Structure 1
């Protein structure tokens, strides 16, 4: 059974998503969703992803709340920058941030968090010296950004994934 459905819970979730997207629970929709989910997950299994376990699952909810609040706050900050371009001089720029985290799922999650936050984007990860390069729309104080990434996100992600 494992061979046909390497990720049974993920298969069920993909079928459920398919049914929600097609807005139908007809037999044809269920079969098509099952076939698509199975084929997609065979491809995923062929990639041989590294195993991963959450060390502190409850910390995920705290991190999610923090990220949502930061995204909302960043949206407001970007709106202020866009609507008041002459009020203050803004400086955008690139910033290298050294990381302590090496967990691949933690790095991927950090990339998603940074890129989903308006005004910032993950540009590059250098695995040789474990640094990331970010582009920041309003780069006022580099140390504040380093403290934010390392203290707010990296620390919590290391609790979850390492």
Structure 2
């Protein structure tokens, strides 16, 4: 597949160059070939590590949990914001120790946490602790347990 990518990309870029310039002169063809080859070479340096999920079927319950959590969080955040009498919520930062090391799993965890309204992934420290901002931080222990058990554990089963 990787070889097909490097065959397809320069051809695609070359054709795109000719279409955008609306010219098939010798100069445009030569410049199009040179640019297509150069951009393909430059893009080859940007290829990230390939993800190798091991237990992909574990993604189904994780997806359902994340979807349910996003819906619940939307409702909770809407109640916080739209209720003028309730202004006693307490935003805050918490540190959550993570055991996951796979960069793809960490990227997925960052997406999950950030997609969920009321939470934002702030930082991953050198000791692999997640700094998380929570809109209504009532109990740090509940948040730590939620992230570690509901999200991190299934992601580790998928990616590590």
With normalisation by structure 2, the TM-score equals 0.75
In the aligned structure 1, how far is the partner of 2:45 from the partner of 2:70?
35
* Structure-2 residue corresponding to 1:134: 132
CA 1:108–1:86 in structure 2 vs 1: closer, same or farther (change >3 Å)?
Answer: same
In the aligned structure 2, how far is the partner of 1:98 from the partner of 1:46?
33
Query: What SS class does the counterpart of residue 138 from structure 1 fall into?
Result: coil
CA 1:143–1:54 in structure 2 vs 1: closer, same or farther (change >3 Å)?
Answer: same
Instruction: Say if 1:74 and 1:118, in contact at 8 Å, map to a contact too.
Output: yes
CA 1:146–1:42 in structure 2 vs 1: closer, same or farther (change >3 Å)?
Answer: farther
Task: Map 1:104-119 to 2 at 5 A.
Answer: 104-119=103-118
Residue-pair matches, total:
138
CA 1:82–1:110 in structure 2 vs 1: closer, same or farther (change >3 Å)?
Answer: same
Task: Map 1:19-34 to 2 at 5 A.
Answer: none
* Structure-2 residue corresponding to 1:102: 101
- CA displacement at 1:86 relative to structure 2: 2.3
- CA displacement at 1:84 relative to structure 2: 1.3
- CA displacement at 1:57 relative to structure 2: 0.7
In the aligned structure 1, how far is the partner of 2:141 from the partner of 2:51?
32
Deviations 1:14-38 (A, max 9, x none): x9xxxxxxxxxxxx9xx89xxxxxx
* Structure-2 residue corresponding to 1:60: 59
Q: Give ranges in structure 2 of 5+ residues lacking alignment.
A: 21-37
* Structure-2 residue corresponding to 1:147: 145
- CA displacement at 1:50 relative to structure 2: 1.7
* Structure-1 residue corresponding to 2:123: 124
